[in-house]
Structure 1
Amino acid sequence: MRAKTGQAVGSQRELLQAKVLQPLKDGYDSLTKTEKKIASYFLSRPECLVLETAATIAGNVGVSPMTVGRFLRKLGFDGVSDVRHSLKADLYGPEVGRLWSIDRRYQAFTKREAAHFSLQDSLDAELAAIRKAYEFTTAPIWAKAVDSFAHADRVYVSGLHMARGLALEFVSRLEYIRPGVHLADGQNGHYAELFDEAPRVAVMLIDFYRYDKGTQRAAELARRRGHDVHILVDSYAVWAHKITDSVFNLPTSTGLYWHSNAAMSVLLNLLVNDVIRERGKAVPKRIDKVLQAQRAFDQFAEEL
């Protein structure tokens, strides 16, 4: 039943459709009763093949992990990890594990250039990723995240390496509309901020490949402390789902040399926007205090 790979597909969702979902739809009537239960789960929640393990899928469907494994082998895959690897290989080439390394990116870049890579393909992938960011605003986890960042006593945001800019952007925008927002990036050698004993603490951790061990340890620490943990990651960060249900996974590959953070930035901006709605009349009061502080330091140019 495994679909043949034709022309390169521009997004992970399209690859899932071509390689797994469409073959399932085409062969659904020939499946056994148990196989139909698994197939229905895949069709209704296709992201599970990228974000979950065979054990979690089995638990949600009500079958054994071995049954899930057998079904995936019938589809032509050697388990869930093979599905992910197959998608990565089609998106980034067969040497994906090596080519994602910073010293191998140029090889992948020149191969794409030689294949007459089109900027239109990149634009399509970028727009698909941004569309996914907007789709999160209707997901169940969105309302919980908005409530968390609007009403928590403290907010801590962490993003290391190339994710640091996103973390700074989120902190800068959020602190305009509410107090108690802090950057906790571990640059001081620890995440002591996460030991905050405030009644309610919200934590946003931002990461993408290659994932930082410090971010994962901070996530585990925040969870053990009972904080509201939210994680913004790329499409392949399976580890995040082991920490919290509040995971915002977005595509970052658009075919360009470096991955794109555009969709992540859009999602954070949407989150700030809805936090403003949630806080209501408290926002102008906070902004007035910020403006008073700005006038005291007089750092900005005159308005036009």
Structure 2
Amino acid sequence: MDSLLAVFQSPEARRTKAGRLLSEYFAQNLATIPFETAASIAAHVGLSAMTVTRYLRELGYGSLDALKSELRHGPISSAWELQDTVDDLRRDQGNGRLVSGMVIQQIEALQSLNKLSHSPEWDEAVRRLTQAGGVFIASFQNISGIARYFSEQMSYVRPAVRYMDGLNGTYLELFDGDPAGRLLVLIDCRRFASKSQLLFDEACAAGIPILLITDTHCDWGQAEGAVTLSIPAMSWRAWDSFMPLAALLDLLVTSAIAVQGESVLERSKAIRRLQDRFGDFERR
């Protein structure tokens, strides 16, 4: 990602007025480029799709797809892969640069999420979360904990929210009977679980609307009936951070609360009464 950023910030990328416009757009939106087309990028900056394609060719990319491929298939293939030696990490920890650098990256990620929250895709995601007859949430492996928490939080916002752990081996709760009104929320990031695309494809075939929450490494999430929210791919010094994912899910819950309004307050009161009744929480 850093090497691509350097390409778009280079003097060669900014020689003309159109180049400067495109340079700024690409540099600020690398995380969402995999879901763009030459036409959509052109519309953002007020240029033609042909100008966008010509610009990329001048920078050495045969097409927008070539750039997308480099974004998706960089040198890092695992969510846990050391980018520095342990000595480098210890040195930067000692002089205070390790944590401060991570904080800067987190701030940049939050800025990207702020922009995403003003997009049509975000509005459609919130609409689906609040209007679906039933919300079925699925995730896998180390992300499943974050997804399960999101499910619990959404249960405060609206009824009929269910986290699917997949232990039945069929996801029958999603596909059983008439699936009309159901929404699949599929949450997965690199390194992707083998079941993610299978579940995505099966839901598409069943005509079930999908909200896919993923990162920029996902290249299989484009389908009719699916809305995709893509977090910035955050490659830390030693691992991929899921802080942006947790932040995105938290912002989705907040947006859903704003849409649901007073009904959330009434639902929260009913849930607190049950909590007090069954005694698993401290009484206030």
Band of TM-score, shorter chain: 0.7 to 0.9
Residue correspondence of structure 1 range 194-209 to structure 2 within 5 A: 194-195=174-175, 197-209=178-190
Distance 1:87 1:156, change over 3 A: closer
Stretch of structure 1 that moved more, 178-187 or 283-292: 283-292
Gaps of 5+ in 1: 1-11, 30-35
Q: Following TM superposition, by how much is the alpha carbon of 1:261 offset from its aligned partner in structure 2, in angstroms?
A: 1.4
Which residue matches 2:231? Answer: 250
CA shift digits 1:11-40 (9 cap, x unpaired): x4x7554312655752336xxxxxx7x997
1:238 is paired with a residue whose SS is coil
CA shift digits 1:240-261 (9 cap, x unpaired): 2356662221124252433211
Q: Following TM superposition, by how much is the alpha carbon of 1:137 offset from its aligned partner in structure 2, in angstroms?
A: 1.7
Gaps of 5+ in 2: 43-47
Residue 61 of structure 2 is aligned to residue 77 of structure 1: yes
2:89 equivalent among 93, 106, 113: 113
Distance 1:222 1:245, change over 3 A: closer
Residue 150 of structure 2 is aligned to residue 162 of structure 1: no
C-alpha distance in 2 between matches for 1:95 and 1:44: 24
Which residue matches 2:8? Answer: 20
Q: Following TM superposition, by how much is the alpha carbon of 1:49 offset from its aligned partner in structure 2, in angstroms?
A: 7.7
2:217 is paired with a residue whose SS is coil
C-alpha distance in 2 between matches for 1:109 and 1:253: 19
C-alpha distance in 2 between matches for 1:241 and 1:108: 34
Residue 180 of structure 2 is aligned to residue 192 of structure 1: no
1:236 is paired with a residue whose SS is coil
1:261 equivalent among 242, 252, 260: 242
How many pairs are equivalent?
271
C-alpha distance in 2 between matches for 1:273 and 1:125: 23
| Residue pair 2:31, 2:233 contacting (<8 A) in 1 also | no
1:118 is paired with a residue whose SS is helix
1:96 is paired with a residue whose SS is coil
C-alpha distance in 1 between matches for 2:75 and 2:202: 34
1:239 is paired with a residue whose SS is coil
Computed over aligned residues only, the root mean square deviation of the Cα atoms, in angstroms, reads 3.5
Residue 258 of structure 2 is aligned to residue 274 of structure 1: no
C-alpha distance in 2 between matches for 1:226 and 1:242: 11
1:51 equivalent among 34, 48, 55: 34
C-alpha distance in 2 between matches for 1:283 and 1:155: 16
C-alpha distance in 1 between matches for 2:124 and 2:32: 24
| Residue pair 1:50, 1:236 contacting (<8 A) in 2 also | no
Q: Given residue 127 of structure 1, which amino acid in structure 2 is its aligned partner? A: I
The alignment's TM-score, normalised by the length of structure 1, stands at 0.73
CA shift digits 1:204-262 (9 cap, x unpaired): 11111111121112122222333331111122222223566622211242524332111
| Residue pair 2:129, 2:256 contacting (<8 A) in 1 also | yes
| Residue pair 1:133, 1:264 contacting (<8 A) in 2 also | no
Distance 1:59 1:301, change over 3 A: closer
The alignment's TM-score, normalised by the length of structure 2, stands at 0.78
